[in-house]
């Protein structure tokens, strides 16, 4: 086994891990990312972040390049799943308006849609050469008073003054000091993409479109289907999310290429033709992304090791805050290291700032799923 040393080792090269690495290197801290995938693939569908998260990216000079890969969405339109009839057009409520404990965010916000792969590519390019390492799958962690050691399945090990674990909802690092199990949420997001010119003119707009399908399910029992689209890649494509809540989650199918007949069997016979048009014009397979629940971690820090992003606070996608809060984690970590140095006190400070706030968001996201009326601020079309 070979071993080398870095100042900060970051486990996981997703949005939280890479953003943290960019932030720390920007501050002159030698931070390296260790990602288990051999290469970054074009997977994961679209994400959204809001203007508050973009303000954090701007601290490290990323706002302009992010603007090049994203579409600005000032509002969303909610439609009936069967007819496409408009129910409401509304700006996006800010977090305080949706039950999050944040009096400073009580109005509305603007969100930006993009493909996950495009943001990862941007972040990798923003990293100093030689500091993103692929093919490194975590196998063990060892903590000490002044350092921590990360061991990988490829036989390599790394010693660091601090280790940040951003390895997702099923985080192995978290299990090493907070072994709360992951549970299936009974909710899947099925993703594909279609060309913008294959859909009706009404959908060729820079806004989010959501088809509410609760009328064909059972909201009280949390079983139903919806659909959602956002523009991506300069508005040339629509990223399509098909939301399956409860019921058949198609777990017996190939998750990377779901049979369209099984997918459409969950939708009502009477369906807005625009939704069918998007499915028919898809340019990639329909892939399933099942959601998992894990409580916000009770413990975020163990010595020189800390968790962040979904490893610490996985949340339902209903508020569009998963990627946002990972970016805010990165900002908080950078602030903590600037104040305290790369040490245990900094990691404790980061936890104290972020844990209660993300707990509030996780709870609010679950309530929005149960009661869509929690999305306040909507205005019915006149």
From start to end of 16-85, where are the E strands? 31-35, 46-50, 71-73, 75-80
pLDDT at 219: 85
pLDDT at 367: 79
Would you say residue 286 lies in a domain?
A: yes
Would you say residue 97 lies in a domain?
A: no
pLDDT at 2: 65
Helix (H, G, I), strand (E, B) or coil at 71: strand
pLDDT at 371: 46
CA distances to 288, 297, 298, 333 from 313, rounded to whole Å, are 22, 7, 10, 15
CATH no. for residue 205?
3.30.9.30
Same domain membership, residue 145 and residue 23: yes
pLDDT digits (tens, 9 = 90+) for 131-162: 999 999 999 999 888 999 999 999 999 999 99
Write out the residue range of the structural domain in which residue 336 sits: 2-43+117-181+295-374
Same domain membership, residue 277 and residue 208: yes
pLDDT at 379: 41
**What residues are paired with 339 via a beta bridge?**
none
Task: Look at residues 43, 38, 42, 11 and name the one whose alpha carbon lies nearest to residue 134.
Answer: 38
Please state the φ and ψ torsions of residue 80, each to the nearest 5 degrees.
Answer: -80, 135
pLDDT digits (tens, 9 = 90+) for 223-236: 999 999 999 999 99
pLDDT at 381: 34
Instruction: Please give the Cα distance from 125 to 352 (Å, whole number).
Output: 31
Would you say residue 312 lies in a domain?
A: yes
Instruction: Please give the Cα distance from 82 to 269 (Å, whole number).
Output: 8
Would you say residue 105 lies in a domain?
A: no
pLDDT at 370: 43
Residues lower than pLDDT 70 in the chain = 1-2, 369-382
């Amino acid at each position: 086994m070979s071993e080398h040393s870095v100042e900060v080792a970051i486990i996981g090269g997703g949005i939280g891990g890479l953003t943290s690495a960019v932030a720390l290197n920007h501050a002159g801290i030698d931070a390296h990312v260790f990602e288990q995938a051999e290469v970054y693939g074009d997977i994961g569908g679209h994400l959204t972040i809001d203007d508050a998260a973009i303000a954090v990216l701007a601290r490290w000079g990323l706002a302009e390049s992010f603007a090049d890969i994203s579409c600005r969405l000032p509002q969303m339109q909610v439609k009936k799943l069967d007819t496409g009839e408009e129910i409401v057009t509304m700006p996006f409520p800010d977090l305080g308006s949706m039950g999050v404990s944040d009096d400073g965010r009580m109005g509305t916000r603007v969100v930006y849609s993009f493909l996950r792969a495009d943001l990862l590519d941007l972040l990798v390019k923003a990293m100093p050469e030689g500091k993103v390492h692929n093919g490194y799958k975590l196998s063990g962690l060892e903590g000490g008073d002044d350092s921590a050691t990360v061991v990988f399945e490829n036989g390599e090990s790394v010693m660091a003054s601090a280790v940040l674990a951003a390895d997702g909802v099923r985080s192995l690092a978290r299990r090493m000091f907070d072994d709360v199990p992951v549970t299936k949420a009974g909710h899947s997001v099925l993703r594909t993409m279609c060309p913008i010119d294959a859909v009706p003119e009404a959908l060729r707009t820079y806004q989010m479109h959501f088809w509410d399908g609760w009328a064909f399910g059972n909201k009280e029992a949390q079983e139903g289907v919806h659909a959602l689209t956002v523009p991506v890649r300069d508005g040339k494509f629509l990223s399509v999310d098909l939301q399956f809540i409860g019921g058949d989650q198609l777990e017996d199918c190939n998750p990377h290429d779901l049979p369209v007949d099984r997918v459409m069997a969950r939708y009502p016979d009477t369906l807005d033709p625009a939704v069918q048009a998007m499915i028919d014009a898809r340019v990639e397979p329909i892939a399933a992304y099942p959601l998992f629940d894990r409580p916000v971690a009770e413990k975020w820090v163990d010595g020189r090791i800390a968790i962040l992003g979904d490893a610490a606070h996985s949340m339902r996608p209903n508020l569009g805050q998963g990627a946002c809060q990972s970016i805010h984690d990165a900002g908080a970590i950078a602030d903590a290291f600037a104040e305290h140095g790369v040490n245990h006190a900094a990691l404790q400070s980061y936890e104290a700032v972020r844990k209660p706030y993300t707990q509030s968001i996780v709870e609010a996201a679950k309530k929005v799923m149960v009661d869509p009326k929690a999305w306040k601020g909507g205005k019915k079309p006149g």
